[in-house]
Structure 1
């Protein structure tokens, strides 16, 4: 275990926007993305609504239709990453949870099939949900995820004393606790006014505002303040593998493997972990045979 000084590093944005239908989730997400700069990609699950804002600026779209499986979201995120996009907007993330073919739908079908009860079915669903969260958190892109808010009507008394119904937004339509995965969580009301229900940046504490490109620019300034994050160095990892191949005893091999494994684990690089394990097993077999 290593004790080190706390140090804030440069980071990519992880931002959620929750709002009722018609409050401007897509509009706000695009304006904020333009403020972050670079190529903007939008994953559209809203039946082409993403195209309605083409006049705002330059962005590209990947459309997802039902069933809204986690696999489709992962493929779309990966496609934008591989194409060098700077910002990925997921519009909306709610479909992965509560849409046709989403995780709630899948859980219900597993339970209805009789193969597992409702509680046991979550053992199948939870890893899928976690894989989507992991993809967003580890993406090299800025991620903006919109979520529908559960809707409720309240009676509001006007200046004339009459009561009229008003639509308000409540919790986002997503698995409980999803908002904690984001650096910033914005709630947008029907007047298109945003407030932060969670804000690790401290930029929006107590503020009520309309999202503009300047909001994204402001966030970018905060994100770029800090030390550069450490990046995976292929040369270092290759040196670790050479050390395993050069090991002449099992003790030397295990020591070299521990170094290689720890380095790959630091970056959560699955391919590197697999490569290190493969080299270790191969050299272990050779040494075992040599000393037999």
Structure 2
């Protein structure tokens, strides 16, 4: 017998993570934040830039230190110019990997589909050659329509080769993809055709997103915040990490790395403000009498904390107000019953 069974043990996973979004949705900045979290202090980030050097706006100025809190990052930059063939994408990825990149950001992967020399252009070129008379140079447009379907075979084959190669890359890869709003004509219950907005859809080969470890889509109205109503691939673990409408941060990258290496998610470290809020909320929920409540609410630290919550976390500030009002109502009821 040539097959062997053995207990399954989870191993480290190289992440293939896709962020799709229209211009202004924050996909490049979000990708770099994730890359920073995954790379940590000792890792190296490389950016494959198909956007004429646009990613360089996130690099520090000469002589300055990168600071992701100020929107700058340390990374190796690869200026990827056309043709954007699948083979050249693999070559670019291998170049970054050989340079020691632990995380590779590709901005944008959409060019592999509809950029200069990409799959669509490759297919159109093959069809045009097949429909063009070698001697006269004339295009047989009837033949052109007939060979269009066949012309996809070779470009799709190259794309599949690229996807197969990606599984062998040891670096984590974050793909940025352009997205555009799509509409679809459908018939309503009365039989009339209506145009329904399908939301933002990533520009890529139709099976590309299914090959990802995870993917999400951002929109310009809420930059950097995943929208669950748009195209996504997030399993249960990923939905815990990337919650709907929550701004992407370096912390998400750290949690991604932990998940890829262990299969576990790490709880994000609570800020000092959140710790102080929880401590005050817990204290107010256990207050015994009006005197104790007045002592707590009149304390300088409580007054300053409530002001900070109003400015930075108004929802939490509202919860504190509700706890105080609830305590006051209970004391009023107790005093009223005692008078009776």
TM-score, normalised by the number of residues in structure 1: 0.68
Residue 202 (1) aligns with residue 237 (2): yes
Q: Are 1:86 and 2:118 counterparts?
A: no
The CA distance in 2 between the partners of 1:63 and 1:25, in whole Å, is 18
1:108 aligns with 2:124: yes
Change (3 A) 1:208 1:6: farther
Mapped partners of 2:245, 2:35: distance in 1: 19
- Residues in 1 aligned to 2:10 and 2:200: alpha-carbon distance in whole angstroms: 32
Say whether the 8 Å CA contact 1:68–1:99 is kept in structure 2. Answer: yes
When Rg is computed on C-alpha atoms for both structures, the one with the higher figure is 2
Alignment of 1:129-144 (within 5 A): 129-144=159-174
Residues 186 and 195, structure 1, Cα contact 8 Å, conserved in 2: yes
What is the distance in 1 between the residues matched to 2:163 and 2:235?
18
8 Å contact kept, 1:201–1:222: no
Output one character per residue of 1:172-224: Cα deviation in whole Å (capped at 9) or x when no partner.
10011211111110111111111462123613255321111111001111112
Unaligned runs of 5+ in 1: 154-166, 228-292
The alignment partner of 1:17 has SS state of strand
**SS of corresponding position for 2:200:** strand
Q: What is the deviation of 1:168?
A: 9.1
Give the aligned partner of residue 280 of structure 2: none
Whole-angstrom distance in 1 between the partners of 2:37 and 2:198? 28
Question: Is 1:119 paired with 2:112?
Answer: no
Measured after TM superposition, the shift of residue 29 of structure 1 is 0.5
Give the match's secondary structure for 2:239.
coil
* Aligned partners of 2:11 and 2:262 also within 8 Å: yes
Distance 2:198 2:177 in 1: 14
Give the 5 Å matches for 1:165-204.
Answer: 170-190=200-220, 191-192=222-223, 193-195=225-227, 197-200=232-235, 202-204=237-239
In structure 2, distance between residues paired with 1:170 and 1:39: 32
Helix, strand or coil at the partner of 2:159: helix
Cα pair 1:12 1:141 within 8 Å, conserved: yes
Correspondence for 2:114 among 98, 106, 111: 98
What is the CA distance between 1:6 and its match in structure 2?
A: 3.9
Query: In 2, are the aligned partners of 1:152 and 1:169 still within 8 Å (CA)?
Result: yes
TM-aligned CA deviation for residue 71 of structure 1: 2.5
SS state of the match for residue 144, structure 1?
Answer: strand
- Does residue 213 (structure 1) correspond to residue 250 (structure 2)? The answer is yes
Instruction: Report the alpha carbon displacement of residue 169 of structure 1 after superposing the two structures with TM.
Output: 5.1
2: CA distance, partners of 1:4 / 1:57: 44
1:226 CA drift (Å): 5.3
Q: Partners of 1:226 and 1:30 in 2: how far apart? A: 22
Question: Is contact 2:214–2:238 with CA below 8 Å preserved after alignment?
Answer: no
CA RMSD, Structure 1 to Structure 2 (Å)? 2.3
Cα deviation, residue 152, structure 1: 5.4
Q: Distance in 1 between matches of 2:199 and 2:73?
A: 28
Give the 3-state SS of the residue equivalent to 2:9 in structure 1: coil
For the 8 Å contact 2:85–2:112, the answer to whether it is kept is yes
**1:61 CA drift (Å):** 0.8
Offset at 1:134? 1.9
CA distance in 2, matches of 1:107, 1:135: 21
Pair 1:224-2:261 in alignment: yes
Which secondary structure does the structure 2 equivalent of 1:75 belong to? helix
